Amino acid sequence: MTVIEPSGRTGPGWWRSAVVYQVYPRSFADGNGDGVGDLRGIRERLDHLEWLGVDVLWISPVYPSPMADNGYDVSDYLDVDPAYGTLAELDALIAELHERGMKLVMDLVANHTSDEHPWFVDSSSSPESAKRDWYWWRDEPNNWGSFFSGPAWTYSEGRAAYYLHLFTRKQPDLNWENPEVRHAVYDIMRWWLDRGIDGFRMDVVNLISKDPDLPEAPVMPGQRYGNMRASVLDGPRVHEFLAEMHREVFDRYEDRDLLLVGETGETTVEEGRKYTDPARRELDMVLHYEHVEIDHGTFKWDVRPFDLGRLRERLAAWQTGLADVGWNSLYWDNHDQPRVVSRYGDDDRWRTESAKLLATVLHLQRGTPFVYQGDEIGMTNYPFASIDEFDDVEAVNYYHEAIALGVEPEDVMRSLRAMSRDNGRTPMQWDDSPNAGFTTGTPWLAVNPNHTEINVAAQRDDPDSVLSHYRRLIQLRHEDPAVVDGDFTLLTDSHPQVFAFRRRHESGQLAVLANFSGAEADLGELAEECRGDLVIGSGHGPVMAPWESRVYRR
């Protein structure tokens, strides 16, 4: 085991004291008035990010794409889609970020390409294609279902065979068993690093290794297709592939402070330790899902009530599981999640309080926090009234599949309202003007009507705003070594309302107390923790107000 010490702002482990900000380019800021966010828009908003204090910007894909999945279907890895701008503008963004002391991390979608990528066009053209083994082809499909409803196989006329796609039919899965595929991906990665970017967020990287037999999968009650997870998640060669990627790519840039983040949906703590163990040289950190599936039943659309006990237990498991080896990423929201204030907080009466509380408990855990655009002002879910208001392929496909299976339309809508990814994709709310300052044109997805109240301009100069709170938390990470390196202990595993933990460090310790409820909470024995300086919060005494959060340092 290699322990990385100390966690300075540069050098090995620099990302331990860093905060990442995720931009979903389509919805962040529109610089040319066509209703779609773009690189110019991002560049015009860098003051906001610098003022907030974030260290790293991760942008969701801006590569040329038919946009079947909003850019997670890439048709050219070495360019920028005209909807977002040009390569020259991306170079300018890199330079401008570096001038401000920030880094740029790009999304790398390498589990699959677009079906319009030249590799797939070639592979599907004939069984004799030189790229015939670059994707997963079979004469007969197995019973797997796609993550986005429907079968995971589509027939290709040119090839007279079926190809595998774990997502939409426009996202064929690359065959990582083929070394030519792996080396083509490594070439792309080096090309971008040579251009000056500072790392990658690797999309669904724990799906790249499949059980090569592609065995039939169990069909769950009420489902039409087999659940392929056991054959594709954290597959047999995934660690080998990531170690190879590290050797072939990152080892060549050892003098640079890069960030290697893997999105590893539905992975376990045990696998997370392997992915992030510095001695194994795979990834710096993983984006796991357990804490954002607390309210899922048998599957994502089977929405269950929030359960504090489950959340606390899963977060603590990752904290303690990666305490002696590896490193956590910390996030609530991203472009695939509904807004956390609506989900685990209260987006009505206690909106500001619950947004601050959620920020506090996330940022003060051990790990690298990720702020998703709009988190910093407490953006909420959108009041969807009809299926026509949804854009996301996952939501639209699920709607049609569920209706065909006989689920009542109102039940489907209830699921979509709570869980749809479109909740996290509505335009960023900069001000109270008609399109929230996002665009001067017609926004591609509706702006949340609550932008008149929830927006950056309204919060920027208010010391009690959610925005000021985020800025304070980011500063605290930069200043307080206990936030970065302190250990983590849960202070209660049974309080029905309170999530409380301690971060102990040689420089002192922090106690974080959070009342996850709209009722007062009696701290009981936890009141002993209310000692030292109150660095976050304003409450006192053994009873916490609804959605109150406090942090003491001693």
Catalytic residue ranges: 203, 263
State the minimum distance, in angstroms, from the CB of residue 229 to ligand TEU.
11
Q: Which helix (H) or strand (E) holds 551?
A: strand 549-553
Those residues with Cβ within 8 angstroms of residue 2's Cβ, 6 or more apart along the chain or in another chain: 277, 278, 279
137-156 residues near ligand TEU, rule: CB under 6 A = 147
For residue 6, whether the previous peptide bond is cis, meaning omega lies within 30 degrees of 0, is yes
Interface positions, 296-325, toward ligand TEU (CB under 6 A): 300
What letter represents residue 234's amino acid?
A: D
The Cβ-side half-sphere exposure at 68, using a 13 Å CA radius, reads 17
Closest-CA residue to 211 (of 243, 253, 175): 175
Q: By C-beta, is 336 or 548 nearer to ligand TEU?
A: 336
Instruction: Scan residues 160-189 and list those touching ligand TEU (CB under 6 A).
Output: 167
- The answer to the question of residue 286 lying near ligand TEU (CB under 6 A) is no
Nearest 5°: CA angle at 28, between 22 and 30? 150
Binding-site size, ligand TEU (CB under 6 A)? 13
Q: Is 265 in the site for ligand TEU (CB under 6 A)?
A: yes
**Which residues are registered as beta bridge partners of 59?**
23, 106
DSSP 3-state of 247: helix
Assess contact for 278 and 4: CB atoms under 8 A: yes
The reply to whether 72 sits near ligand TEU by the rule CB under 6 A is yes
The closest of 404, 406, 405, 357 to 378, measured between CA atoms, is: 357
Buried residues in 210-228 as b, exposed as e (16+ CB within 10 A): beeebeebeeeeeeebbeb
Tell me whether residue 167 or residue 332 sits nearer to ligand TEU (CB atom). 167
54 belongs to the binding site for ligand TEU (CB under 6 A): no
Smallest distance from ligand TEU to CB 118, Å? 19
The distance of closest approach from Cβ of residue 412 to ligand TEU in the complex, given in angstroms and rounded to an integer, is 15
Provide the 10 A C-beta neighbour count for residue 494: 8
State the maximum Cα–Cα separation within the chain, in Å, rounded to a whole number: 75
Q: CB-wise, 275 or 547, nearer to ligand TEU?
A: 275
Least distance (Å) from ligand TEU to the CB of residue 394?
A: 6
Cβ closest to ligand TEU, residue 263 vs residue 422: 263
CA-CA distances (angstroms) from residue 228 to 377, 404, 431? 38, 22, 44
Q: Which strands, in side-by-side order, build the sheet including 153-156?
A: 137-138, 161-164, 153-156
Q: Is 199 helix (H, G, I), strand (E, B) or coil?
A: strand
CB 69 to ligand TEU: min, Å: 5
Residues 402-431 that bind ligand TEU (CB under 6 A): 421
**Residue 204 found at the interface with ligand TEU (CB under 6 A):** yes
CA distance 381 to 338: 6
Each residue 244-263 as x (binds ligand TEU by CB under 6 A) or -, in order, gives -------------------x
Q: Does 271 bind ligand TEU (CB under 6 A)?
A: no
Instruction: Give whichever of 113 and 365 is closer to ligand TEU, judged by the CB atom.
Output: 113
> Which residue in the set 38, 69, 284, 422 belongs to the binding site for ligand TEU (CB under 6 A)?
69
Residue span 452-481 as binding mask against ligand TEU, x where in contact by CB under 6 A, dash where not: ------------------------------
Q: Build a one-symbol-per-residue string for 327-366: x at contacts with ligand TEU by CB under 6 A, - elsewhere.
A: --------xx------------------------------
CB of 314 to ligand TEU, least distance (A): 17
Q: Which residues pair with 135 in a beta bridge?
A: 174
Query: Between residues 298 and 442, which has the closer beta carbon with respect to ligand TEU?
Result: 298
Say how far apart CA 539 and CA 542 lie, in whole Å. Answer: 9
Q: Which of residues 80-109 bind ligand TEU (CB under 6 A)?
A: 109
CB of 455 to ligand TEU, least distance (A): 25
Question: Which candidate, 449, 421, 424, 422, places its Cα nearest to that of 436?
Answer: 449
**Which residue's CB is nearer to ligand TEU, number 45 or number 335?**
335
Q: What is the 3-state secondary structure (H, E, C) of 135-171?
A: ECEECCCCCEECCCCCECEEEECCCCEEEECCCCCCC
User: Does position 203 bind ligand TEU by CB under 6 A?
Assistant: yes
Between 67 and 161, CB nearer to ligand TEU: 67
CB of 292 to ligand TEU, least distance (A): 9
Residue ranges in contact with ligand TEU by CB under 6 A:
69, 72, 109, 147, 167, 203-204, 263, 265, 300, 335-336, 421
